[in-house]
Amino acid sequence: MAHVIDAIKTRRSVRTYSSRPVPLSTLQQVLEAAGWAPSAHNAQPWRFIVLASEAEKQVLAEAMAKAWMTDLAKQGVTLEVQESLCKASVERFTRAPVLIIACITMEDMDRYADEPRQRVERDLAVQSLGAALQNLLLAAHACGLGACWYCAPAFCKETVRKVLKIPEEVEPQALITLGYPAEKPRTPRRKQLQSYSYRDCWGGKL
């Protein structure tokens, strides 16, 4: 138990990586750990796309940045700021040795005739992917890797789908950068237990 708690508390979001390549065997370990996460109905609705080639990373990063610039323009952000933010985004994703695109599929989830229940079923798939990604991040940490979870694909799903030729039944949700750390992030501030525990069933002892 102590090892698990230590891993949870010492894992950090790493954004800067060395050029050292990630061995295929290590990458497989990390992805297999993700597959052991709990999921609704044990449907395991996650799908992962791994990008390691410089060309593929560049094309995806530039396409997402272009989509982001469109959104920033709609928000009234100046062109100068748009270009600065998008340049940093492209560099962030292309400099990571590995990108993992995390997706969901409803293929093995339950199906309902009424739309409200079907929307809930999709929520369950998203929750299941979240559990898989936490497993992935902890496994990466245990293997000496650094990783960072980004939500960029959620804002430009069709762009990501088109670039990576993802089938219609698979929905991009998130992106994980992965590699050997070239930084030691500070310990992030965490809220105290009392601030996020709304119901105390132990007589005020939490």
pLDDT number for residue 193: 85
Lowest mean pLDDT among 87-96, 114-123, 195-204: 195-204
Rounded to an integer, what distance in angstroms lies between the CA atom of residue 206 and that of residue 199?
10
Domains and CATH numbers, the chain: 24-52+98-180 (3.40.109.10)
What local confidence, expressed as pLDDT, does residue 204 receive?
60
Token pair of 131, please?
């559990």
184-195 tens-digit pLDDT: 999 999 998 888
pLDDT at 2 over 80: no
Interval 82-112: pLDDT, tens: 999 999 999 999 999 999 999 999 999 999 9
The pTM (predicted TM-score) of the whole model is 0.93
Q: Of 55, 7, 48, nearest to 31 (Cα)?
A: 48
State the pLDDT at residue 11.
Answer: 95
Residue 176 has pLDDT above 80, yes or no: yes
pLDDT in tens, 49-79: 999 999 999 999 999 999 999 999 999 999 9
Quick check: 126 and 173 in contact, CB under 8 A? yes
pLDDT band at 200 (very low <50, low <70, confident <90, very high): low
Tell me the H-state helices in the chain. 2-10, 24-35, 54-74, 79-95, 115-142, 152-155, 157-164, 193-196
pLDDT at 205: 62
